Chains A and B, each alone.
Chain A
Amino acid sequence: MFHVSFRYIFGIPPLILVLLPVASSDCDIEGKDGKEYQNVLMISIDELGEFIRTERNLDSSPGLNTRFTDSMIEIDSNCLNNESNFFKKHSCDDNKEPLFLNRAARKMRQFLKMNISEDFNLHLARVSQGTLKLSNCTTKGKGRKPPSLGEAQPTKNLEENKSLKEQKKQNDLCFLKILLQKIKTCWNKILRDAKEH
Chain B
Amino acid sequence: MIVHLNDKQENLKRHDPITHPWSEKIMTILGTALGMVFYLLQVVSGESGYAQNGDFEDAELDDYSFSCYSQLEVDGPQHLLSCAFEDPDVNSTNLEFEICEGLLEVKCLNFSKLQETYFIKTKKFLLIGDSTICVKLGGKHITCQKMNIVKRVKPEAPFDVKVIYREEANEFVVTFNTSHLQKKYVKDLLHEVVYRLEKNENDWMHVNISSTKLTLLQRKLQPNAMYEIKVRSIPNTNYFEGFWSEWSPSSHFRTPENNSGKMDPVLLIISIVSFFSVALMVILACVLWKKRIKPIVWPSLPDHKKTLEQLCKKPKKNLNVSFNPESFLDCQIHKVDGIQARDEAEAFLQDTFPPQLDDSEKQRLGGGVQGLNWPSQHAVITPKTFGGESPLRCLSGSVTVCDVPVIPSSRPPDCREGGKNGPHVYQGLLLGAGTTNSTLPPLFPFQSGILTLNPAVQGQPLFTSLGSSQEEAYVTMSSFYQNQ
Specify whether A and B are partners: yes
Interface residues of A (CB under 8 A from B): 35-36, 38-41, 43, 118-119, 121-122, 125-126, 129-130, 133-134
CB distance from A129 to the nearest CB of B (A): 6
Residue B209 at the chain A interface, CB threshold 8 Å: no
Residue of A36, A119, A121 touching B128 (CB-CB under 8 A): A36
B53: shortest Cβ distance to chain A, in Å? 23
Besides A36-B128, A39-B185, A126-B104, 10 new A-B residue pairs in contact (Cβ under 8 A), listed by A number: A36-B239, A39-B127, A39-B237, A43-B185, A119-B123, A122-B105, A129-B126, A129-B128, A130-B126, A134-B128
Q: List 26 A-B contacts (CB under 8 A).
A: A35-B239, A36-B128, A38-B239, A39-B127, A39-B150, A39-B185, A39-B237, A40-B239, A41-B128, A43-B184, A119-B123, A121-B105, A122-B77, A122-B104, A122-B105, A122-B124, A125-B104, A125-B105, A126-B126, A126-B127, A126-B128, A130-B126, A130-B127, A133-B126, A133-B129, A134-B128
Do A39 and B239 touch (CB < 8 A)? yes
* Least CB distance, B148 to chain A, in whole angstroms: 11
Query: Nearest-CB distance from A31 to chain B (Å)?
Result: 8
* B positions within 8 Å CB-CB of A: 77, 104-105, 123-124, 126-129, 150, 184-185, 237-240
For A126, what are the chain B residues with a Cβ–Cβ distance below 8 Å? 104, 126-128
Return chain A residues, CB-CB under 8 Å to B239.
35-36, 38-40
Chain A residues lying within 8 Å of B237, measured Cβ to Cβ, are 39
Chain A residues whose C-beta falls within 8 Å of the C-beta of B105 in the assembled complex: 121-122, 125
Give A17 Cβ to nearest chain B Cβ, in Å. 35
A156 vs B412: C-alpha distance in the bound complex, in angstroms? Answer: 164
A40 near B104 (CB under 8 angstroms)? no
Chain B hits for A35, CB < 8 A: 238-239
Bound: A48/B120 CA distance, A: 25
Query: Is there an interface contact between B104 and A39, defined as CB atoms closer than 8 Å?
Result: no
Q: How far is the CA of A130 from the CA of B105 in the complex (A)?
A: 12
What is the CA–CA distance of A43 and B72 in the complex, to the nearest angstrom?
14
**Most chain-B CB neighbours within 10 Å: which of A40, A118, A130, A134?**
A40
Check if B240 sits within 8 Å of A39, measured CB to CB.
Answer: yes
Bound CA span A80–B403, Å? 136
Which residues of A are found within 8 Å of B185, using beta-carbon distances? 39-40, 43
B124 to A, closest residue via Cβ: A122
CA distance A133 to B101 in the complex (A): 11
Neighbouring A residues of B124 by C-beta, 8 Å: 122
Chain A: minimal CB distance from B10 (Å): 60
A40-B185, A43-B184, A133-B128 known; A122 vs B238 contact (CB < 8 Å): no
Instruction: Return B241 CB to nearest CB of chain A, in Å.
Output: 11
Chain B neighbourhood of A36, CB < 8 A: 128, 239
For A40, list chain B residues within 8 Å (CB): 127-128, 185, 239
**Shortest Cβ gap from A87 to chain B (Å):** 26
**A43 to B187 alpha-carbon distance, docked (Å):** 12
The 3 closest A-B pairs by CB, nearest first: A39-B239, A35-B239, A125-B104
List B contacts of A130 (CB < 8 A): 126-128
Please report the C-alpha to C-alpha distance between residue A129 and residue B125 in the assembled complex, in whole angstroms.
11
Q: Which residue of A lies closest to B123 (CB)?
A: A122
Residues on A with beta carbons closer than 8 Å to the beta carbon of B129 = 133
Can you name the residue of chain A whose Cβ is closest to the Cβ of B184? Answer: A43
How far does the alpha carbon of A119 sit from the alpha carbon of B76 in the complex, in Å? 11
Whole-angstrom distance between the alpha carbons of A37 and B239 in the complex? 10
The smallest C-beta distance from B256 to any residue of chain A, in angstroms, reads 46
Cβ of B132 to closest chain A Cβ, rounded Å: 15
Instruction: Give the residues in chain A near B128, CB-CB below 8 Å.
Output: 36, 40-41, 126, 129-130, 133-134
Chain B residues contacting A38 (CB-CB under 8 Å) are 239
In the assembled complex, the CB of A193 is this many whole angstroms from the nearest CB of chain B, namely 20
Q: What CA separation (Å) do A41 and B184 show in the bound complex? A: 12
A119 touches B240 (CB 8 A): no
Chain A nearest CB: distance from B156 CB in Å?
18
Q: Once bound together, how far apart are the Cα atoms of A121 and B150, in whole Å?
A: 21
B104 / chain A contacts, CB cutoff of 8 Å? 122, 125-126, 129
**How far is it, in angstroms, between the C-alpha of A125 and the C-alpha of B106 when the chains are bound?**
11
Interface centre among B124, B126, B128, B150 (most CB of A within 10 A): B128
Q: How far is the CA of A126 from the CA of B126 in the complex (A)?
A: 6
| Interface-centre pick from A43, A121, A122, A133 (highest chain B CB count, 10 A) | A122
A134 to B105, CA, bound (A): 17
Which residue among A35, A39, A118 has the maximum number of chain B CB atoms within 10 Å of its CB?
A39
Which residues of chain A are within 8 angstroms of B123 by Cβ–Cβ distance?
A: 118-119, 122
Which residues of chain B have C-beta atoms less than 8 A from A119's C-beta? 77, 123
B101 to chain A minimum Cβ distance, whole angstroms, is: 10
Residues of A within 8 A of B240 (CB): 39
Which residues does chain B contribute within 8 Å of A43, judged by CB atoms? 184-185
Q: How far is the CA of A35 from the CA of B126 in the complex (A)?
A: 14
Provide the bound-state CA to CA distance between A121 and B106, in Å.
13
The docked-state distance in angstroms from the alpha carbon of A35 to that of B188 is 14
Q: What is the bound-complex CA distance between A119 and B105, given in angstroms?
A: 12
Find chain A residues with CB under 8 A from B77 CB: 119, 122
Task: Specify which chain A residues have a CB less than 8 angstroms from the CB of B126 in the assembled complex.
Answer: 126, 129-130, 133
